[in-house]
């Protein structure tokens, strides 16, 4: 019996354009968005026999309606994969797709799968966060969790309290910067966006680009926005990820199978970690998850040349940077922009981070290691460390 751990590689990733909730994809089924991503993956990788896919793991935060019914299986069938290909659904709120990736990657490393598809989808138009949930009343009554923890904007204000040095002005400046970085890189990002049909009262259209970026954002404009979560607070719509519809999917394999089939290798997984924090300050989650992942890999933050961190809120990114003594405008961090600009369709965002990092790796052969990391509702963080196969040595 061969019990050696295999290398897991990220072959390819794709996503729909991200649309503003209540706008572009309001009349589009969530499962149709993820089906489009799976079909695009297969079309982009014609060397992959569909019957070789061992698993389809798909995430959604609200698993009802068109995001329910074991989405990994139903979407696989509707995408045209053989009936022999199984699938399942997964939920870790915003880190759903990230958890789908780490779950199937663990099975690949352990020689249980050779190839898997992982991803996520969220229609925040039709399934707003918290729809249909029934929290056990003891979680609040017994003070296990403050009621504020159930509202993400409140947790962002709490994080400002925890880090008084992170002022509203700093958060505003970060938000302007990420809008500018996205605008500068938008053409590069198009390579991994598949077109998506969308219907509205005005008829059918074909979405080809993200709907949400605001490149005209200025410090003066952000300063005038109201603070909806707290009177005289610091969190605004301009320093938060907008409510978003969208889907992502990626192809993962072991290195030997990828070579056998002639599949490209965009990244190699080094390791990952998830961690829990106080739900009331859930935005701090990426700090312990990154510390844990780095320690397990025998690396330090100085070894990381690119950081893709999900921008649920500007304060959450700044807390991470402050902890690791990284400058607010460090070029390693979200160099092509982040979720404040392009949107955050909850459970799908983890794979968006990975796909973007893979593109950045190709553009930066001097970088060996990068991370994808994100905060998670109810007090968690997730981090995955990746190695750049294009690494040629530091300049």
* Active-site residue list: 94, 344, 375
Cα–Cα distance between 392 and 390 in angstroms, integer? 6
Distance of CA 219 to the CA centre of its chain: 26
Which 3 state secondary structure label does DSSP give 235? Answer: coil
Segment (H or E) for 168: helix 168-189
- How far apart (Å, rounded) are the C-alpha atoms in residues 86 and 213? 37
Q: Which of 309, 341, 350, 311 is nearest to 122 (CA)?
A: 350
How far CA 66 is from CA of 29, 57, 217, in Å, comes to 6, 16, 35
Q: Would you say 136 and 46 are in contact if contact means Cβ atoms under 8 Å apart?
A: no
DSSP letters for 35-54: HHHHHHHHHH-TTS-GGG--
Q: Which residues contact 111 (CB under 8 A, 6 or more apart)?
A: 2, 6, 254
Helical H segments across 208-367, by residue range:
219-223, 255-261, 286-297, 314-323, 339-342, 349-363
Query: For 174-227, what is the HEC assignment?
Result: HHHHHHHHHHHHHHHHHHHECCEEEEECCEEEEECCCCCCCCCCCHHHHHCCCC
3-state secondary structure of 150: helix
**How far apart, in Å, are the Cα atoms of 139 and each of 91, 134, 142, 144?**
19, 11, 6, 5
Dihedral sign of CA atoms 52, 112, 3, 103 in order: positive
SS3 content of the chain, % helix, strand, coil (to 5): 40, 20, 40
Q: Choose among 215, 158, 159, 175: nearest CA to 314.
A: 175
């Amino acid at each position: 019996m061969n019990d050696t751990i295999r290398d897991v590689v990220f072959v390819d990733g794709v996503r729909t354009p991200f649309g503003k909730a209540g706008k572009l994809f309001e009349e589009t089924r969530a499962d149709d968005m993820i089906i489009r991503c799976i079909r695009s993956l297969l079309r982009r990788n014609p060397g992959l026999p569909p019957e070789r896919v061992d698993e389809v793991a798909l995430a959604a935060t609200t698993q009802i309606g068109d995001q329910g019914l074991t989405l990994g299986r139903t979407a696989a069938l509707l995408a045209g994969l053989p009936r022999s290909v199984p699938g399942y659904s997964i939920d870790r709120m915003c880190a759903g797709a990230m958890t789908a990736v780490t779950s199937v990657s663990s099975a690949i490393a352990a020689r249980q799968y050779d190839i898997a598809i992982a991803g996520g989808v969220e229609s925040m138009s039709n399934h707003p966060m918290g729809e249909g949930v029934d929290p056990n009343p003891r979680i609040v009554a017994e003070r296990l969790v403050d009621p504020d923890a159930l509202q993400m904007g409140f947790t962002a204000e709490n994080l400002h309290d925890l880090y008084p040095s992170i002022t509203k002005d700093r958060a505003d400046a970060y938000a302007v910067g990420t809008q500018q970085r996205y605008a500068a890189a938008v053409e590069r990002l198009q390579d991994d966006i598949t077109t998506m049909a969308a219907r509205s009262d005005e008829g059918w259209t074909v979405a080809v680009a993200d709907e949400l970026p605001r490149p005209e954002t200025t410090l003066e404009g952000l300063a005038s926005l109201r603070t909806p979560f707290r009177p005289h607070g610091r969190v605004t719509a301009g320093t938060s990820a907008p409510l978003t519809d969208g889907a992502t999917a990626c192809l993962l394999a072991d290195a030997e199978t990828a070579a056998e089939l002639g599949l490209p290798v965009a990244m190699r997984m080094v390791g990952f970690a998830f961690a829990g924090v106080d739900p009331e300050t859930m935005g701090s989650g990426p700090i312990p998850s990154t510390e844990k992942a780095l320690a397990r890999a025998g690396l330090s933050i100085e070894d990381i040349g690119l950081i893709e961190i999900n921008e649920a809120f500007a304060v959450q990114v700044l807390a991470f940077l402050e902890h690791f003594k990284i400058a607010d405008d460090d070029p390693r961090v979200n160099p092509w922009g982040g979720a404040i600009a392009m949107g955050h369709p909850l459970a799908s965002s983890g794979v968006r981070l990975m796909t973007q990092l893979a593109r950045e790796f190709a553009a930066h052969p001097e970088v060996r290691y990068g991370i994808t990391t994100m905060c998670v509702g109810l007090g968690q963080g997730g981090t995955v460390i990746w190695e750049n196969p294009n690494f040629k040595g530091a300049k």
